[in-house]
């Protein structure tokens, strides 16, 4: 049989996997000739993919008027529930059978009070949260059980566009489902899905419930964790994204060791190398990131990095844009050395910097006003990653569940534009504005794509 016939047969066998439920593909064509099938690989791989269900509670957001006793009494407003129960379904991958470690997406287990894991053999186990990284949408949970099957991790840096891959997960809560396709693209960034993005794009069918599931190669090795889709019409259109397993592995190791991801910094502000900037710098290659600012005394400053340098490589890997550089640095650990290949005045230069801990000035809400107790504020410019459209401002880093700040309506990731009608650029501005009134604080905040006023008193 020639190569084209073998390739066509493999394509037919792979694409036919999606609608197959329990029936197995024949190993021969009825005349003794073998047919290609993924069944043997899947038999050893699918036990390592689990279904995840969660239960939790979130506070119901209310109009501030409905919290006013006089307003409620005057208009006879009935009591409303302060919390509502949430449920979610997703997938996970067993990566360490001895320790019972399972990786999944942060958005699968977010706000969960109870996490249940159902294995391929039907066993249902209670899981506990080891740690989570919302910026990369990765979480690690742990179960205690025997006879677990772990999926070995591949080197996701070695996958190529066109490689065959298989997605395994729990779409729409149907139970374990297998779909197939190819790697459509690599290094997808700038989608606004996560804070740190370096996605594998695939046309293997991924749907709601597949989040946290496995993307494996034809050897049954984990190359990525299914995370998101682009679905203009609400259904799968063949554009799915997975977090590369190398990125997941680095995050998992920190979550297991520290319970959190400790990201460092170099102390630089960066921007894309646009065609106009490339022309101004006399650079023919338009891939790279431009250093726009170097913080005095930072690791970048100590290593000799200058404003106007163009970063071409990080630890030997090419950098296409500012987002890719931020992702690479964001995945480095505190104390780790990083080699940067630069262009300065058109000449190549190499420097080595040591990643340092990012300082973060914080302000406790109770120091501003009693009803803000439980909230923690920080400067946007000091964040390891900035997902807002502002370079300056104050962001809500934390809001304790059931705290006075939460009952006042404040939410994590709220961005404060003004306080008591004073524009806010940093924590010092917020402190001064809060002193303008002893009766309360009027906050103008951005929440997602919406803006609103919040009166705390």
* Active-site amino acid positions: 107, 137, 211
Alpha-carbon span 187 to 195, nearest angstrom: 14
> The tokens of 115 are what?
């996490």
408-442 burial code (b ≥16 CB/10 A, e <16):
bbbbebbbbbbbbeeebbbbebbeebbeeeeeebb
CB 211 within 8 A of CB 225: no
CB 39 within 8 A of CB 163: no
Alpha-carbon span 287 to 312, nearest angstrom: 7
DSSP secondary structure string, 205-228?
A: ---TT-TT-EEE-TTS-EEEEEEE
Phi, psi of 332 (to 5 degrees): -80, 150
The residue with tokens 């190529």 is 160
| CA 80 remoteness from chain centre | 34
Give the helix ranges, DSSP H, for 54-99: 69-74
Question: Comparing C-alpha atoms, which of 142, 106, 54, 129 is closest to residue 225?
Answer: 106
Phi, psi of 425 (to 5 degrees): -115, -20
| CA 33 remoteness from chain centre | 46
Helix H, strand E, coil C: the string for 133-183 is ECCCCEEEEECCCCCCCCCCECCHHHCCCCCEEEEEECHHHCCCEEEEEEE
Question: Comparing C-alpha atoms, which of 261, 255, 138, 242 is closest to residue 198?
Answer: 242
CA dihedral sign, ordered 40, 45, 47, 49:
negative
The residue with tokens 């290094």 is 187
CA distance to 33, 176, 334, 394, per residue, from 444 (Å): 71, 46, 36, 11
Helix (H, G, I), strand (E, B) or coil at 323: helix
């Amino acid at each position: 049989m020639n190569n084209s016939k073998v390739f066509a047969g493999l394509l037919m066998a792979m694409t036919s996997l999606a609608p197959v439920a329990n029936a197995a593909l024949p190993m021969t064509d009825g005349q003794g000739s073998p047919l290609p099938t993924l069944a043997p690989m899947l038999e050893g791989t699918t036990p390592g993919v689990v279904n995840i269900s969660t239960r939790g509670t979130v506070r119901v957001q209310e109009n501030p008027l409905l919290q006013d006793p006089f307003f409620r009494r005057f208009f006879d407003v009935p009591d409303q529930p302060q919390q509502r129960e949430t449920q979610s379904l997703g997938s996970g991958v067993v990566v360490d059978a001895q320790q019972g470690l399972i990786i999944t997406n942060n958005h699968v287990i977010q706000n969960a009070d109870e996490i249940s894991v159902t294995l391929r053999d039907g066993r249902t186990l209670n899981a506990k949260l080891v740690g989570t990284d919302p910026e990369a949408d990765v979480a690690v949970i742990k179960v205690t059980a025997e006879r677990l099957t772990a999926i070995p991790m591949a080197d996701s840096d070695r996958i190529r566009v066109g490689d065959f891959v298989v997605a395994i997960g729990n779409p729409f809560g149907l139970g374990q489902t297998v779909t197939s396709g190819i790697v459509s693209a690599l290094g997808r960034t700038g989608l606004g899905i996560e804070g740190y993005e370096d996605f594998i794009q695939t046309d293997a069918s991924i749907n709601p419930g597949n989040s946290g599931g496995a993307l494996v190669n034809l050897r049954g090795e984990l190359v990525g964790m299914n995370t998101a889709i682009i679905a203009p019409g609400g259904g799968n259109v063949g554009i799915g994204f997975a977090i590369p397993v190398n990125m997941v592995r680095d995050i998992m190791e920190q979550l297991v060791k520290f319970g959190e991801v400790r990201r460092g910094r170099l102390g630089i502000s960066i921007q894309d190398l646009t065609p106009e900037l490339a022309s101004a710098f006399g650079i023919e290659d338009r891939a790279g990131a431009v250093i726009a600012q170097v913080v005095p005394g930072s690791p970048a400053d100590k290593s000799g990095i200058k404003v106007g340098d163009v970063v071409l490589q990080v630890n030997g890997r090419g950098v296409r844009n500012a987002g890719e550089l931020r992702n690479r640095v964001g995945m480095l650990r505190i104390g780790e050395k990083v080699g940067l290949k630069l262009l300065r005045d058109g000449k190549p230069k190499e420097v080595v910097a040591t990643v340092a801990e990012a300082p973060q000035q914080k302000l406790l809400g109770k120091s501003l006003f009693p009803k803000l107790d439980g909230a923690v504020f920080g400067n946007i410019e000091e964040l390891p990653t900035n997902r807002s459209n502002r370079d300056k401002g104050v962001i809500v880093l934390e809001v304790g569940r059931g705290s006075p700040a939460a009952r006042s309506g404040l939410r994590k990731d709220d961005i404060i534009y003004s306080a008591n009608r004073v524009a806010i650029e940093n924590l010092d501005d917020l402190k001064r504005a809060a002193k303008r009134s002893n009766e309360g604080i009027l906050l103008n905040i951005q929440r997602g794509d919406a803006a609103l006023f919040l009166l705390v008193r």
